[in-house]
Amino acid sequence: MQATIALLPGDGIGPEVVAEGVRVLNAVAAAYGHSFAYREALLGGCAIDATGSPLPAATLAACEAADAVLLGAVGGPKWDDPRAKVRPEQGLLGLRKALGLYANLRPVAVPEQLAERSPLRPELVRGVDLIVVRELTGGIYFGAKESVFIRPDEERAYDTCVYTTSEIARVVRRAADLARQRRGLLTSVDKANVLETSRLWRRVTTEIVAHEYPDLRLEHILVDACAMHLLRRPADFDVIVTENMFGDILTDEASMLTGSLGMLPSASLGDGQRGLYEPIHGSAPDIAGQGRANPLATILSTALLLRHSLGLEAEAAAVEAAVAATLEQGIVTADLAAAGSAYSTEAVGTAVVAALQRQPVAA
Ligand code: IPM
Ligand code: MG
């Protein structure tokens, strides 16, 4: 097949990890007879430096014209002034919103080879296979916000959390569809004992599952309790659905089940086939440019891209198998390596490509 993929390397380690993702996509294209064309564009801090805007019109146009978008990370100390009017993160949030990508899938699976690397005891994380479906274009990230001086010496800031029935319903349906293909357990996470948006979330979720997904088991958990249960009994979870900020926080926590934030991929989807694929980690400015970043979250994101936007399931599974083979060989970056045995970003990418090339191609 032919596909166009927009590349947004972004800032910090973004370009390094995206480069490895592209090598893997090229290896897939060669092995399976596909042709992928890439269009690179600016997003985040690099876009601010070049154009003044974190999401230039040309970038949005490139994404809209593509079948899928592969993104690295945005942000860094250079643009971190809390007084700044434009911020790299606005580019990412604006892009998610403009493309209508309301459902952010963040799978967390702990491969056997990583069970020993987690800060949790291996018997706790063994067999973890969950997916967080994070609402991505609403909530407190997008509600009215402001900081104003109410007196010369007193400033007052607010952010508002807003959800509508339909915004909740569409992401809950997406999560419920996934639960149906998996183990049939849907966990909805909210703060319904305090927040009005959470009470609406809980009512809408309960109703949709009762009427449209009576075959699923639905549980509601408060977000603070969920944070605890993710450490105490992570293997019990199947599909977790939650609002934007809770999902942001819980997935950084959940990444530690695998031992590294550098392992978690994500797919941001809307109603069409086009999706945005990115590692859940940030731009890691402290290690940028050193060839130390773990490219596996980005490489696993390319598997999600093949699966969800291009419909190439065999190719997606091949990438995931190649990552598993690379872990099996102990070829990992510093975040996962025992002292003195770390491989570079590029060496890990090379190992994944080699593992892909060793696999027989299913006809
Ligand atoms: C994420 C990131 C972003 C978010 C930041 C960079 C705006 O933390 O994708 O999880 O909060 O959504
Ligand atoms: Mg985050």
What's the CATH number where 153 sits? 3.40.718.10
Q: Please name the residues in contact with 307: beta carbons below 8 A apart, sequence gap of 6 or more.
A: 267, 313, 316
Residue corresponding to tokens 């801090």: 45
Q: How many domains does the chain have?
A: 2
Which ligand is the nearest neighbour of the Cα of 106? 1
Query: Is 248 considered catalytic here?
Result: yes
Rounded alpha-carbon distances, angstroms, from residue 329 to 70, 123, 176, 348: 27, 22, 36, 10
Going by alpha carbons, the residue nearest to atom 8 of ligand 1 is 248
- pLDDT at position 45 is 98
Q: Are residues 136 and 117 in the same domain?
A: no
Query: Is 97 considered catalytic here?
Result: no
Q: Are residues 104 and 159 in the same domain?
A: no
CA 197 to chain centre: 24
CA of 30 to the centre of ligand 1 (A): 33
- Rounded to two decimals, what is the model's pTM? 0.96
The ligand 1 atom at the shortest distance from the C-alpha of residue 74 is 6
The ligand 1 atom at the shortest distance from the C-alpha of residue 96 is 12
Query: Is 286 considered catalytic here?
Result: no
Tell me the residue range of the domain where 221 lies: 129-256
Q: Are residues 44 and 79 in the same domain?
A: yes
3-state secondary structure of 168: helix
Which ligand is the nearest neighbour of the Cα of 278? 1
If one residue of 86, 106, 248 were mutated to test the ligand 1 pocket, choosing by the most ligand atoms within 8 A of its CB, it would be 248
Q: Are residues 101 and 148 in the same domain?
A: no
Q: Are residues 165 and 249 in the same domain?
A: yes
Residue 332 exposed, middle or buried by CB count within 10 Å (0-12, 13-18, 19+): buried
Query: Is 141 considered catalytic here?
Result: yes
Q: Are residues 203 and 322 in the same domain?
A: no
Going by alpha carbons, the residue nearest to atom 1 of ligand 1 is 280
3-state secondary structure of 150: strand
- pLDDT at position 363 is 56
Measured CA to CA, the distance from residue 121 to residue 22 in angstroms comes to 35
Which of 234, 256, 278 is the endpoint of a domain?
256
Query: Is 158 considered catalytic here?
Result: no
Q: Are residues 112 and 214 in the same domain?
A: no
Q: What is the pLDDT along the chain (363 residues), one digit of tens a residue?
A: 999 999 999 999 999 999 999 999 999 999 999 999 999 999 999 999 999 999 999 999 999 999 999 999 999 999 999 889 999 999 999 999 999 999 999 999 998 888 988 999 999 999 999 999 999 999 999 999 999 999 999 999 999 999 999 999 999 999 999 999 999 999 999 999 999 999 999 999 999 999 999 999 999 999 999 999 999 999 999 999 999 999 999 999 999 999 999 999 999 999 999 999 999 999 999 999 999 999 999 999 999 999 999 999 999 999 999 999 999 999 999 999 988 899 999 999 999 999 999 988 865
Active-site choice (11, 67, 190, 248): 248
Which of 256, 291, 325 is the endpoint of a domain?
256
Pocket of ligand 1 (CB under 6 A): 75, 89, 92, 248, 280, 282
Residue corresponding to tokens 């569809």: 177
**What 8-state DSSP symbol labels residue 79?**
G
Q: Are residues 294 and 228 in the same domain?
A: no
Going by alpha carbons, the residue nearest to atom 9 of ligand 1 is 280
Q: Are residues 133 and 252 in the same domain?
A: yes
Contact indicator for 333, 344 with CB cutoff of 8 Å: yes
The ligand 1 atom at the shortest distance from the C-alpha of residue 75 is 6
Active-site choice (80, 215, 224, 286): 224
